[in-house]
A = this chain, B = another copy of it.
Amino acid sequence: MKSFSPILENDFVKLAPLSMSNYHHLLPIAGQEKLVQYSPSDIETPEALKKYVEQALEKERNFTAIPFIIYDKRNNKYAGSSRFMNIDQKNKVLEIGSTWIGREFQGTGLNGQAKLLMLNYAFNEMHFEKVEFRIDERNIQSRKAVEKLGAKLEGVLRKNVYLLDGFKRNTCCYGLLKEEWS
């Protein structure tokens, strides 16, 4: 499988490859308290964020992830991060996840624009057949966001992921098939 690190953009948002040379733009955002409270990721300190990015790049080298840095073009500011992950080339299924943007960007439509770019890329350029989203059952905001994109709730996996605070979450599995995407 060939490696690809695309740049995805429209009038609102630009997604560029996340790297060791640009992740520092995210330090103030990642440090916002409990930004990813429903995720097992640790990004809150500079050391934790560096490790998080290193692990993402390791997965990129293994062709199982493509991590992005999100740039808000209307405000000319770096806003957060997202990625293609659990890339299953054989079955043409991947997940969009590890998504977080600063609180000031939430509710602005930025995240929806980023997701549209990623979905179009996954289905039309990578020619994948299914995109999944995995979300803490309690995270109603994220669940509504992916439902708005057309993703269907396929199941709730009970107690399968530990969060940093020791809580074991139930994980909602959402799926969007290529034939459901236009």
Chain A residues numbered 106-152 whose CB sits less than 8 Å from any CB in chain B: 129-130, 132, 152
Our pick among B130, B132, B162, B175 for the contact of A91 (Cβ within 8 Å) is B162
Interface string of A148-163 (1 = CB under 8 A from B): 0000101111111110
Residue of A155, A156, A168 with most chain B CB atoms under a 10 A cut-off? A155
Q: Which residues of B contact A92 (CB under 8 A)?
A: 162
Tell whether A173 is near chain B: CB-to-CB under 8 Å. yes
Q: Which residues of B contact A168 (CB under 8 A)?
A: 91, 129
Tell whether A36 is near chain B: CB-to-CB under 8 Å. no
In the bound complex, how far is the Cα of B40 from the Cα of A91, in angstroms?
10
Q: A155 and B173: CB pair below 8 A?
A: yes
Tell whether A2 is near chain B: CB-to-CB under 8 Å. no
Give the bracket for the number of chain A residues in contact with chain B: 20 to 34
Interface string of A12-53 (1 = CB under 8 A from B): 000000000000000000000000000000000000000000
Q: B152 and A154: CB pair below 8 A?
A: no
In the bound complex, how far is the Cα of B154 from the Cα of A156, in angstroms?
6
In the bound complex, how far is the Cα of B168 from the Cα of A160, in angstroms?
25
Known A91-B168, A158-B177; 13 more pairs at CB < 8 Å: A90-B162, A91-B160, A129-B159, A129-B168, A130-B158, A132-B157, A132-B160, A152-B158, A154-B155, A155-B155, A155-B173, A157-B173, A160-B175
What residues of chain A have their CB less than 8 Å away from a CB belonging to chain B?
A: 90-93, 129-130, 132, 152, 154-162, 168, 173, 175, 177
